[in-house]
A and B are shown apart, each in its own frame.
Chain A
């Protein structure tokens, strides 16, 4: 049997997944099990005998006899051809991947972007920008706060929960306002994506602030900096939202990590996302902490990929 014929037979065998395992077993390879995406073993080939013809079984009629002869030729070829045995292993891995994917329900059967046209426009805008951005001056990592809402929070001006609810709307207005001022066609698409992120963040802020006992904590920068940010904490849900306009986008390969400290350990819980000038992180904290997290130090630090968080850029207490 020629290589081309052998490979064609292997594709055919892959159409009957258990036939691949049977073929490999005849060659002395151990049977493989497929695993679901989360690592649970599934019974690949457990029903191998159910309705799948054994390649070595004698055939009763002419077409099956021809198949049996072809299978026999294929086995003979595989025993002497390392390249085709490797191809068989490739098909077995492919089959395991398909079985693994189909073994559990797809958590996202309709995985499409929220706004495909906006994503397309933003992507192509980024490409256009990529040709003119190299001469932009580097921004400092920490700058002064650019609007008054965080400093008003620091002064306690939003101690009333009803007034706090305005934060969400302010976030949206702030981000959208920035984009409108620029009013560049390339920026319009980016603004749409920014608006979606801001709307999602605003909804989370609103949700946290409606919780009984919701707390607002001001995060301060280093002593030499006027930087600040705000942390919202919903004790019922354990949800935390951190927002600041005091951070410039991190250098390539770096990120701003959010962390808290407990029992002498610094625990990284998330990474700040940038949307326009606003940097934010929203996520659960209760799964990380043991006991009441009130009073625990919380901070934001610049970290390089794979490294530990550096000195705090913002810090406060829950």
Chain B
């Protein structure tokens, strides 16, 4: 175990991981080009690389496994149909797929949560996420509009949280651990380094990579714009 707080060149694993990240993005671009030319095998590879995280986000939002599976199917059908319109300079394939999945997920949510205008619908504070998600997915109302929270704002936050949770779920533990310690346990980078027994430089490198990945996916999927809108509206 390396002494904590010791600045030094990041170990080889991080250099490799960084290079792999770049290669992933480039490989995805090549995949999309092949998909645009009708290569089904390329679509299969793209599916294997991205389907799990899309499902993970969608099922958290919808609380309905079958509906989430439909979202995944629709997303890759859209990739197949519109691969030619993908612009790698605008963002990664992962972010593009998240944007499609977000729209499909919200379509499901709108259809499932269509509700009467006059039904008593107060969501109590002691209701859990699970219960709320069950109510949403089954088309049951979750609020009567009397609270301060705008439904669109709630949906924005829920989708952002779903994306973050899905990405964390599929993130390598070496990247997830320092992020969770910083954001969940509120530790500084130095404290994270002590806790994990890593050099501070390693903690910073891995945290940075995880943060950049999350930001890119939130930004590319449109979730960040929604959150910024909420943030601006709150002022």
Contact = CB atoms under 8 A, between A and B. Distances in A.
A16 B189 contact: yes
A65 interface: no
Contact of B130 (A16, A107, A126): A107
A298 to B, nearest CB: 14
Nearest to A282: B138
Contacts of A123: 47, 51, 72-73, 76-77
Contact of A37 (B56, B66, B162, B187): B162
Interface string B57-68: 001100101101
B55 A112 contact: yes
Given A15-B182, A101-B160, A101-B168, A267 B227 contact: no
B161 interface: yes
A140 interface: no
A268 B140 contact: no
Interface stretch (B17-25, B94-102, B212-220): B212-220
B92 to A, nearest CB: 16
Interface string A155-166: 000000000000
Interface in A248-304: 255, 257, 265, 267-271, 273, 283-284, 287-288, 303
A40 B40 CA distance: 44
Contacts of B149: 39
Contacts of A205: none
A61 interface: no
Contacts of B52: 112, 116
B40 A127 contact: yes
A119 B66 CA distance: 10
B56 A126 contact: no
Given A113-B69, A197-B66, A288-B140, A96 B231 contact: yes
Nearest to B43: A127
Contacts of A112: 52, 55-56
Interface residues of A, number: 73
A94 B157 contact: no
A220 B56 CA distance: 39
A37 B161 CA distance: 6
Contacts of A110: 169
Contact of A92 (B118, B139, B231): B231
A36 interface: yes
A248 to B, nearest CB: 18
Nearest to B150: A39
A241 to B, nearest CB: 13
A122 B55 CA distance: 14
A2 interface: no
B166 interface: yes
B183 A37 contact: no
B154 A38 contact: yes
Interface in B160-200: 160-166, 168-169, 178-180, 182-184, 186-189, 191
A213 interface: no
**Chain B CB within 10 Å, residue with most, of A16, A109, A110, A120:** A16
A66 to B, nearest CB: 12
B188 A16 contact: yes
Interface of B: 40, 43-44, 47-48, 51-52, 55-56, 59-60, 63, 65-66, 68-69, 72-73, 76-77, 80-81, 107, 110-112, 114-116, 118-119, 125, 128-130, 132-133, 135, 138-140, 147, 149, 153-154, 157-158, 160-166, 168-169, 178-180, 182-184, 186-189, 191, 203-204, 207-208, 211-212, 214-215, 218-219, 223-224, 227-228, 231, 234-235
Given A94-B224, A119-B69, A287-B140, 19 more contacts: A17-B186, A51-B188, A90-B224, A93-B218, A96-B227, A97-B161, A107-B129, A108-B56, A108-B59, A120-B47, A123-B77, A124-B40, A124-B47, A126-B77, A127-B77, A127-B80, A265-B116, A270-B138, A288-B119
Interface of A: 11-12, 14-18, 30, 32, 35-40, 47, 50-53, 89-102, 104-114, 116, 119-120, 122-124, 126-128, 130, 193, 197, 255, 257, 265, 267-271, 273, 283-284, 287-288, 303, 305-306
